Amino acid sequence: MSSPLHSWGRYPHTPQAAHACSWVSDVAALRDGVLAAHGTTLAYGNGRSYGDSCMAASDHVLYMRTLDRFIHVDWQQGVVQAEAGVTLAEILAIAIPQGWFLSVTPGTQFATLGGAIANDVHGKNHHLRGTFGNHVRRFGLLRNNEEPLSCSPNENTELYAATIGGLGLTGIITWAEIQLIPIRASQIDSKVVRFDNLAEFFSLSSELDHQHEYSVAWIDCLAKGAQTGRGVFIVGDHARYGSLEVDERAKLSVPLTPPISLINNLSLRAFNDLYWRVHPAQSTRKRSSYEPFFYPLDRILHWNRIYGRRGFQQYQCVIPDAVAEVVMRDLLSAIAESGQGSFLAVLKRCGYIASPGLLSFPLPGTSLALDFPQKADLARLFTQLDAIVREGGGRLYPAKDAHMSGADFRQAYAGWERLEALRDPSLNSHFWKRVTQ
């Protein structure tokens, strides 16, 4: 491929030369060529990770998106086997008309199967279904100087666990087989409830989460004082009656990257305040297609460009249940005080279902995620937030990260040494070098 690849946040700026894989049978030879010339490499899915975990330490990645064929589908059981570069959108396009949906989906449908496994992504139903890895039946793994392996809960079990959430370091996933969930309609019935502060979020979550498949809250990260953590709580379920239609609405696109970020403190404050106010105080119900419910940002292609040439960072942490409310209040107060933040911050309770993955991010607790335009004084705020997360026994999400210290990573992810022992030495990322070496 001619143009270099970046991560979604376009920060840090380490352009990646892409070596595209066309056939599963050719991946080993392509990888060997890259290794001979550049020493190490890394699989790259569709670049929907924000930080540097999808950036090869050598700056030469194997581009997997072109491995995009379905291998086998079983509509009786809802099982799909496909090459690793198939996107979640492509799976939905064939599964929905047959009455099946992804068991777990992140907030973008443009992630690939390989990327979803390597980051063990989670969605709005973590409290009921765990992570993506909980629904992975098998996958093919290609390691340097080894025969291709099949990994599942019964074969090559250690590599199965280490690859789920393994940040692409245990080998190249060439194909995967996942379990879907049955649906009767592609529409989502949702309920929206506005809340005035963080305490109300926690009580709504305790009351509503277990009654609904999906649950998430958007919060005004700039609200202060008694209004800290005010926002909009959204729960939803697959409609029981309706049609099975793939959403094919035309997408908008941000055509180019402006020299500076279009996000500033004024536009942020106005948007956050307005978003909260346009939602009525009484709860409202609505039926929508699945796309605006799960993937609102996917409607605007290249939306990451609005942050300008310097890019942006996402800060996502999860805080254990026992201290979640007080720690979230401290985090949100620090963010509001700094005046920096994102249009909409996402707050979500994670549940107790353990992932099979060795280095999975979610833990029973509450996750907060928000975007920040990249600028010089961001480091000061992140140092402050990191200290609060550390003291609260929480951790940051490698898929979104471009700044976490090695000490924080190693403290929070006890399985990292096991992953390092199982790492295919021909694979390495900027992230892994930064936090382990």
Ligand X SMILES: Cc1cc2nc3c(=O)[nH]c(=O)nc-3n(C[C@H](O)[C@H](O)[C@H](O)COP(=O)(O)OP(=O)(O)OC[C@H]3O[C@@H](n4cnc5c(N)ncnc54)[C@H](O)[C@@H]3O)c2cc1C
Between 116 and 317, name the residue whose CB sits nearer to ligand X. 116
Smallest distance, Å, CB 116 to ligand X? 6
Between 45 and 341, name the residue whose CB sits nearer to ligand X. 45
What is the Cα–Cα distance from 128 to 108, expressed in whole angstroms?
A: 19
- By CB under 6 A, tell whether 86 contacts ligand X: no
- By CB under 6 A, tell whether 47 contacts ligand X: yes
Smallest distance, Å, CB 243 to ligand X? 26
- Taking CB under 6 A as the criterion, the residue among 40, 41, 49, 360 binding ligand X is 49
Smallest distance, Å, CB 408 to ligand X? 19
Encoded one letter per residue, x for contact with ligand X by CB under 6 A and - for no contact, window 368-407 reads -------------------------------x--------
- Taking CB under 6 A as the criterion, the residue among 11, 44, 195, 290 binding ligand X is 44
Binders in 156-175 for ligand X, by CB under 6 A: 167-168, 172-173
- Taking CB under 6 A as the criterion, the residue among 42, 86, 180, 222 binding ligand X is 42
- By CB under 6 A, tell whether 344 contacts ligand X: no
- By CB under 6 A, tell whether 217 contacts ligand X: no
Count of residues interacting with ligand X (CB under 6 A)? 32
Binders in 93-152 for ligand X, by CB under 6 A: 106-108, 111-112, 114-116, 118-119, 121-123
Smallest distance, Å, CB 401 to ligand X? 10
Smallest distance, Å, CB 50 to ligand X? 7
- Taking CB under 6 A as the criterion, the residue among 16, 18, 45, 109 binding ligand X is 45
- Return residues touching ligand X (CB under 6 A): 8, 42-49, 53-54, 64, 84, 106-108, 111-112, 114-116, 118-119, 121-123, 167-168, 172-173, 297, 399
